[in-house]
Amino acid sequence: MNTVYISFGSNIGDRKKAIEEAFYLIEQNNMRITKKSTILETEPYGYTEQPSFLNGALEVKTDISCRDVLEKLLYIEKEIGRVRKFKWGPRLIDLDIIFFNDEVYDEEDLKVPHPDMHNRDFVLKPLCELCPNLIHPVLKKTVKELLEHKIETGG
């Protein structure tokens, strides 16, 4: 059984409803949610001229491959109504694979661990709630260490 950590976010429309719908569809697509973080209200990242986000993380157990998880998450985003207009733009729902077991994928459309996760409070804080001692397979630091470093450096 694979363990997947997924970050989620929403900043337009009924944010809570979109997140709840994502949880439901994840469960309907051969992924069992085993842990949910607290949902945080956060400032936008990258493109800042947009509403604040609701963000969090999930621990999911599944027997499907990383590629299949990605395809299902993209399907769920589309099903809920996400339209990709530009990078870091407003979104009804965003679902990203952060970790897939301790595996590393570096393909054009599949990068795991998420390549920018260590720079994002809105990913690290919820992840730290779920798996503080999980070691990043590339950076070789725990999630807790990554968050502490980000706080210490003010990054």
Write out pLDDT tens, residues 50-62.
788 999 999 999 9
* Residue 149 is assigned to a structural domain of this protein: no
* Residue 151 is assigned to a structural domain of this protein: no
15 is catalytic: no
Which CATH number does the domain housing residue 7 bear?
3.30.70.560
120 is catalytic: no
pLDDT band at 15 (very low <50, low <70, confident <90, very high): very high
* Residue 18 is assigned to a structural domain of this protein: yes
* Residue 133 is assigned to a structural domain of this protein: no
Burial class (CB in 10 A: 0-12, 13-18, 19+), 134: buried
* Residue 146 is assigned to a structural domain of this protein: no
Determine the pLDDT at residue 96. 95
* Residue 97 is assigned to a structural domain of this protein: yes
* Residue 26 is assigned to a structural domain of this protein: yes
67 is catalytic: no
DSSP 135: B
pLDDT band at 111 (very low <50, low <70, confident <90, very high): very high
- Is-contact 100 4, C-beta < 8 A? yes
96 is catalytic: yes
Q: Is the pLDDT of residue 81 over 90?
A: no
Residue range(s) defining the domain that contains residue 85: 2-117
Please identify which of the residues 14, 15, 63, 91 carries the catalytic annotation: 91
* Residue 145 is assigned to a structural domain of this protein: no
What's the number of domains the chain is made of? 1
User: Whole-model pTM?
Assistant: 0.92
C-alpha distances in Å from residue 141, one per residue of 56, 133, 138: 21, 9, 8
